[in-house]
Structure 1
Amino acid sequence: MGIVINLDKLLESRGMKSKELAEIINITEANLSILKSGKARAVRFTTLEAICKALDCQPGNILEYIKD
């Protein structure tokens, strides 16, 4: 399975919508959707940092490694 993105869980726990997060971190909703679906091939550290700041979390709360 590899790397799992837990953004949906975090957004729900914070009572925040994807659109709101996209606006806060200054990326398009389409790019946020790609990231949330796990289809992104890379994530910039600046984007990861912005997400952590907006959701008051750690990178490990967003990204999870699941062994195959």
Structure 2
Amino acid sequence: MPIIVTLDVVLAQRKMKLGDLAERVDLTPPNLSILKTGKAKAIRFSTLEALCRELDCQPGDLLRFAPDPDP
């Protein structure tokens, strides 16, 4: 998939644990883990907003587009 989730990088930069973030944004740790590992197929804008608010970042800090080499 050409959308890369960089939540793990942002968490490391903020020295924050996944469980702490999950509690702050009112998500279960397993659901946030699915997003972190790039296995999620979608994300709600409300979830993205909550992540950005708690991590003090922009959506582009959490998501990156990397096109497939062969379309």
| Unaligned segments of structure 1, at least 5 residues | none
Q: Which residue does 1:6 correspond to in 2? A: 6
Q: Classify the secondary structure of the residue corresponding to 1:30.
A: helix
Q: Which residue does 1:48 correspond to in 2? A: 48
Cα drift, residue 41 of structure 1: 1.2
Give structure 1 regions of 4+ aligned residues with deviation exceeding 4 angstroms.
none
Larger Rg over CA atoms: 2
Q: Which residue does 1:35 correspond to in 2? A: 35
| RMSD across aligned positions (CA) | 0.7
Cα drift, residue 31 of structure 1: 0.2
Q: TM-score, normalised on structure 1? A: 0.96
Q: TM-score, normalised on structure 2? A: 0.92
| Unaligned segments of structure 2, at least 5 residues | none
The percent of aligned pairs where both chains have the same amino acid is: 54
Number of equivalenced pairs: 68
